[in-house]
């Protein structure tokens, strides 16, 4: 595995309204937690940031990271389709990296497993 592939991207933020999702008429993940219609606040301490963690990442790491993302969005009431859409969207690098490395079947299976136990 190339060294560049070992770098992991993590993003955190209070609202995940990407420019692509604005103006969707209340559909899609940006409206699921009510943040889609709120304009960005430049003083928001939880603004979206991206950091690279320069450590080797194995399958167990990606499994746990995916599970954590899924648990968070399930707790916010998102549907399976809304959660999976985060993994498909390159704008969300952490989830998108997991989809690229582990595949669609893995992500959909894990969403089902986390939701239904």
Is the overall model pTM greater than 0.85, yes or no? no
Q: Higher model confidence: residue 31 or residue 111?
A: 111
Taking the C-alpha atoms of residue 45 and residue 112, their distance in angstroms, rounded to an integer, is 33
Give the SS3 label for residue 108: helix
DSSP one-letter string for 26-85: T-SGGGTTS-TTSPP-TT-TT--EEEEE-S---HHHHHHHHHHHHHHHHHTT--HHHHHH
Taking the C-alpha atoms of residue 51 and residue 94, their distance in angstroms, rounded to an integer, is 10
- pLDDT average, residue stretch 25-48: 60
Cβ(17)–Cβ(36) below 8 Å: yes
Taking the C-alpha atoms of residue 55 and residue 6, their distance in angstroms, rounded to an integer, is 7
Res 117: pLDDT: 87
Residues 6+ apart with CB under 8 A from 104: none
Domain boundaries, the chain: 3-116
Q: Bridge-partner residues for 9, per DSSP?
A: 52
Res 30: pLDDT: 47
């Amino acid at each position: 595995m190339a060294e560049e592939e070992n770098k992991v991207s993590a993003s955190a933020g209070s609202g995940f309204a990407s420019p692509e999702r604005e103006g969707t008429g209340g559909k899609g993940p940006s409206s699921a937690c009510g943040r889609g219609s709120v304009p960005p606040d430049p003083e928001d301490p939880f603004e979206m940031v991206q950091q690279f963690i320069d450590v080797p990442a194995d399958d167990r790491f990606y499994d746990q990271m995916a599970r954590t993302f899924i648990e968070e969005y399930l707790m916010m009431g998102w549907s399976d389709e809304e959660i999976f859409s985060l993994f498909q969207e390159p704008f969300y690098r952490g989830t998108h990296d997991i989809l690229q490395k582990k595949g669609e079947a893995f992500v959909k299976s894990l969403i089902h497993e986390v939701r239904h136990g």
